[in-house]
Structure 1
Amino acid sequence: MRALLKLSVIVCVATAAFGFSLSPTDVVFHFFSRSNPTVSQPLLPNINSIMTSDIDINKPVVITIHNYVENSAVNFNAFVVSAHLNTSDENIIAVDWSAGAQLYTQGLGNAPQCGAVVASFVNILIQDLGFNTALLRIIGVGLGAHVAGIAARKINGPVPHITALDPSFFGWSHHPDILNPDDAEVVEVLHTTSGNYGYDLPLGDIDFYPNGGAHQAGCGSDLSCSHQLSYVFYAESITSEVSNGNEFVGTACEDYESAVASSCEGERNAIFGGRRDKAGVSGVYNFLTNPTAPFARG
């Protein structure tokens, strides 16, 4: 497991944010499709740049937003982009805001700006190209999960779904721009390092706490491994829909405390990840996983 998941995550305990004014080229949008699944077309949030791309506004648009100390070429996108393109003909836009998120505190300070830039990109698709936001999905990991919520609030149209993978904890408890259930029609949250790197309390319409949410099976005390499994689980949830693999079936929990204690006894009526419509599904859920892939138990 540790050999597979190579990304090293460094947590800064000091959380005083220090942002700076992001330049027009500090946030780059890397477009992938089935025609270019491994080599992106880099775009900027302006109509001239977007018009040079092969984005098909009649197909779904999936936006991915990475964590701090990362860029668009990290494991997160390696898993998520390939999972989506191998199972559906979609436009994938991998946001690279690494220039403004080289340190945790820097990313914390720049998250609101990044969210606004992501929204401006989508608003160009809407206003100038006629894109229908019903085809939009945003996926963020760590700090990128909060950026996803910020962006969704500023998009000129309803956002159907946000998938927030292990949203960051430090500096967000009283942050005015913290991810919340009103950011999209469905805000789905996966907690894999709850109370450590990741946020502890529920943040969305549906919050999943696999294996109790703090440490993941097969990772021991390695928090970096547990954090990375957030997007590994998500990628598996996408590919399993076409491979007839097991699903991550959640058991409803009475509250957050029962979720982290893995003592939930409610209905098994929510599935983490995938592309299914989850309108009307809400609550806190727990599920157990295998220590190695495939992770879902069904």
Structure 2
Amino acid sequence: MRLQVKTVFLCAFLFAGITCNIPNTLKKDFFQIYKGLAVEAKQLTGTHVTIDKLTFTHFDKKHLENGTLLDSSNLEDVKYAKEKIVFILHGWASSATVDWVLDMKNAFLTIYPNSSVITIDWSGPASQPYSISSINTYDVGNFMADMILDLINKHNVDIKKFLLVGHSLGGQACGFAGKKLQSVGKILPRIIGLDPAGPLFSIRPKDKRLNPTDAEVVEVIHSDGGRFGFDNPCGTIDFFPNGGKWQPGCQRIDLLDITSVADPVTCDHQRSHEYFTEAILNPGDFLATKCTQYTLLFKKCDENYKVPLGDLTTTLKGNFYFETNKERPYAKRQQGPGLINKISNIFKH
């Protein structure tokens, strides 16, 4: 039975890119089969997500390095944030102590010093086989929503202060948090999905994954579309750096050469959070232009609509493109006509 479950999940993972184009009614059927197998697999392995498997750590300008652990009994300090209350959520097989989470936390507190940043460590549920961790995002998102509701209902925090940022599976979990809040009449102002996970989510109907209705603004950065990341637009505003699939400086994987499959495998996927952290610290440097794939092919993007990555006030909608350097600093800063010429070539091959 275990082998059968693993085989089904492997097939689903490999063919996720193909099934993303099937009708939504069939997606619902496929998802129900997958969900049933995942629940059965969780029962076999004894893996269940409970609140004690998550760690919430609060940082502010008084506690930049050594944060304080949070639970429902000590949320008092968080309510005093005058600017933003930012939740940062890592992805699969990761934790809240990895460098990028701490770098992003520091970036937010540098630019928004009167804010609070809450990192969520769900490394236990995130370290299960991918098929199970992907199901765990539902519970993780619900626990995050519960804390937000406690802050709103018990400590009179304005929901407009909240910002949810999640990478990979963390981006999908943020969507579930938004859905739960809406079920009780609350809507988040903004969710930022950093290359939200694609495998086993591209086969889901929209209401079972991150989608444009999960917050007033759902901002998505696609850096590894069609592999680890979600390929198609799934926000109110979607950014596609370098076309959204391959990132400069990331080694291409040769399936005939096993030595090429080590570190580079997640390089493109990770660039989403690297770009975003740099964008927070350098407002205006990543200037993106609104395009559709059609207008991009013919180099006729709408130059009248530009927005910098990291602008946490924009309400523009659509698909936006920008080019990066292959190493830090990633921002080109001057995004001239060459951007459209170079990115358009991606869609010709």
TM above 0.5, one fold? yes
Partner Cα separation in structure 2 for residue 14 and residue 36 of structure 1: 44
Q: Which string of whole-angstrom CA distances, capped at 9 and with x for unpartnered residues, describes residues 50-77 of structure 1?
A: 24x5552444100111101111101231
Q: 1:225 to 1:119 in 2, by over 3 A?
A: same
Matched, 1:56 2:85: no
- The percentage of aligned residue pairs carrying the same residue is 27
Matched, 1:145 2:171: yes
Secondary structure, aligned partner of 1:94: strand
Structure 2, unpaired ranges of 5+ = 1-9, 14-33, 253-263, 334-349
Partner Cα separation in structure 1 for residue 202 and residue 106 of structure 2: 33
Greater relative contact order, per chain length (Cα 8 Å cut-off, separation 6+):
1
Question: Which residue pairs with 1:78 in the alignment?
Answer: 102
Cα RMSD (Å): 2.1
Partner Cα separation in structure 1 for residue 66 and residue 300 of structure 2: 44
Matched, 1:289 2:324: yes
Partner Cα separation in structure 1 for residue 287 and residue 304 of structure 2: 6
Question: Which residue pairs with 1:3 in the alignment?
Answer: none
Question: Which residue pairs with 1:5 in the alignment?
Answer: none
Question: Which residue pairs with 2:70 in the alignment?
Answer: 43
- What aligned pairs does 1:213-232 form with structure 2 within 5 A after superposition? 213-221=244-252, 222-232=264-274
Partner Cα separation in structure 2 for residue 61 and residue 229 of structure 1: 24
1:21 aligned residue (48, 67, 84): 48
Query: Per-residue deviation at 1:264?
Result: 6.0
Q: Is the 8 A contact 2:57 2:70 kept in 1?
A: yes
Query: Per-residue deviation at 1:289?
Result: 0.6
Q: Is the 8 A contact 1:57 1:129 kept in 2?
A: no
- What aligned pairs does 1:68-217 form with structure 2 within 5 A after superposition? 68-89=92-113, 90-103=115-128, 104-155=130-181, 157-175=186-204, 176-217=207-248
Q: Is the 8 A contact 1:234 1:273 kept in 2?
A: yes
Partner Cα separation in structure 1 for residue 208 and residue 54 of structure 2: 19
The two structures have a TM-score, normalised by structure 1, of 0.86
The two structures have a TM-score, normalised by structure 2, of 0.74
Q: Is the 8 A contact 2:84 2:116 kept in 1?
A: yes
Question: Which of 1 and 2 has greater Rg?
Answer: 2
Query: Per-residue deviation at 1:38?
Result: 1.6
Letter paired with 2:141: G
1:251 aligned residue (289, 313, 316): 289
Secondary structure, aligned partner of 1:40: strand
- What aligned pairs does 1:1-12 form with structure 2 within 5 A after superposition? none
1:67 aligned residue (72, 86, 91): 91
Q: Which runs of 4+ in 1 moved over 3 A?
A: 12-20, 261-264
Q: Is the 8 A contact 1:137 1:162 kept in 2?
A: yes
Partner Cα separation in structure 2 for residue 188 and residue 164 of structure 1: 6
Query: Per-residue deviation at 1:228?
Result: 1.4
Partner Cα separation in structure 1 for residue 281 and residue 245 of structure 2: 25
